[in-house]
Amino acid sequence: METVPQLDRVFLDLGPFTIYWYGVIIGTGAMLGLWLAVRESQRRGLEKEVFVDLVLWAIPIAILSARLYYVLFKLDYYLAHPSEILMIWNGGLAIHGGLIGAIITGIVFAKKRGISFWKLADIAAPSIILGQAIGRWGNFMNQEAHGGEVTREFLESMYLPDFIVNQMYINGTYNHPTFLYESLWSFAGFIILMLLRKANLRRGEMFLTYVMYYSLGRFFIEGLRTDSLMLTESLRIAQVISIGLILLAIGLLIYRRVKGHSNQRYLDNN
């Protein structure tokens, strides 16, 4: 087995307390997303405390639901290794699980505050996909969320810097950097959503566009991964969820237009 220099997973070692890059990167994505949402919410006539208060609930619940989702689909392993259930610094936060928790939190929060959930969701959509784009680099540091075996020459033909090529050397083989594919797809989606703000879509359609866009990319990228959560031996859970979310988003978009629930526009402040 060849020797390849690789990056250290540890950001800061304080003796009994260790901070991992995984947590630092995910936290950075969340904070940038919050900053962006707060700025936009003020522009849309909301007090800046609204998104701060929402995030104080949504982030912990999203982390818990993301971990619960992951653990439930690998229940046999975690029943045999219960001490690892809380070790989220080793990875194992499922994005779909986190989204479920965050959306439910957003619905309850909006109802209690008397604010349109769809207005909050539209404002949050670019922040969510930006956080996902940044967060995938946490997977990179943990050497997870990667694809199948490739050659070093294949990776170098993509003009990737050495630090990425070297980090994709896992257990004696080079692997598809699927974390990078999804990160780039998400960054592109972030730019698209930021541009769509000027298009003044009907309320709710910014968020539904995010759901459809992200799910489309996730469906294809998931097919390259080797660490997918599986529903059956040949059926990947994330692909099933992605198809379901695309169909649900299309159905909601059509329903809301037909029923007149989306007559308000993104730029409306009421």
DSSP designation for 175:
E
Indicate the burial class of 134 (C-beta count within 10 angstroms; 0-12, 13-18, 19 or more).
buried
pLDDT score at 88: 82
Share of the chain above pLDDT 90, in %: 74
Which of 2-6, 143-147, 247-251: highest mean pLDDT?
A: 247-251
Give the three-class secondary structure for 260.
coil
Q: Check residue 1 and give its pLDDT.
A: 62
As a whole number, the mean pLDDT across the chain is 92
Condensed to tens digits (0 to 9), the pLDDT of residues 15-64 reads 888 999 999 999 999 999 999 999 999 988 898 899 999 999 999 999 99
Residue pair 242/225 in contact (Cβ under 8 Å)? The answer is no
- At 156-198, the pLDDT tens digits run 999 999 999 999 999 999 999 999 999 999 999 999 999 999 8
Rg (CA), the chain: 20
Least confident range from 19-23, 77-81, 99-103: namely 77-81
CA distances from 111 to 30, 106, 115 (A): 23, 8, 6
Instruction: Tell which residue, 82, 131, 143, 97, has the closest CA to residue 237.
Output: 97
Q: Domain extents for the chain?
A: 10-258
Neighbours of 53 (CB within 10 A): 13
Kindly give, in sequence order, each residue whose CB lies less than 8 Å from that of residue 183, ignoring residues fewer than 6 positions away. Answer: 133, 134, 136, 137
Q: Can you tell me which residue has the tokens 């769809």?
A: 118
| pLDDT for the residue numbered 3 | 85
Alpha carbon separation from 168 to 9, 19, 127, 219 (Å, rounded): 14, 22, 28, 22
The 3-state DSSP class for residue 192 equals: helix
The Cα-based distances of 246 to 28, 104, 105 in angstroms read 28, 18, 21
Mean pLDDT across 219-237: 89
Q: Give dist(CA 147, CA 133) in Å, integer.
A: 17
Which runs of E-coded beta strand occur in the chain?
10-14, 17-20, 149-150, 169-170, 173-175
Nearest to 130 by CA among 25, 250, 237, 247: 25
214: pLDDT confidence band, cut at 50, 70 and 90?
very high
Please tell me the pTM assigned to this model.
0.91
Contacts of 130 (CB under 8 A, 6+ apart): 29, 32, 33, 36, 186, 187, 190
The amino acid occupying position 96 is H
- Best CA proximity match to 131, nearest among 74, 230, 63, 53: 63
pLDDT in tens, 109-163: 999 999 999 999 999 999 999 999 999 999 999 999 999 999 999 999 999 999 9
| Number of other residues whose CB lies within 10 A of the CB of residue 168 | 25
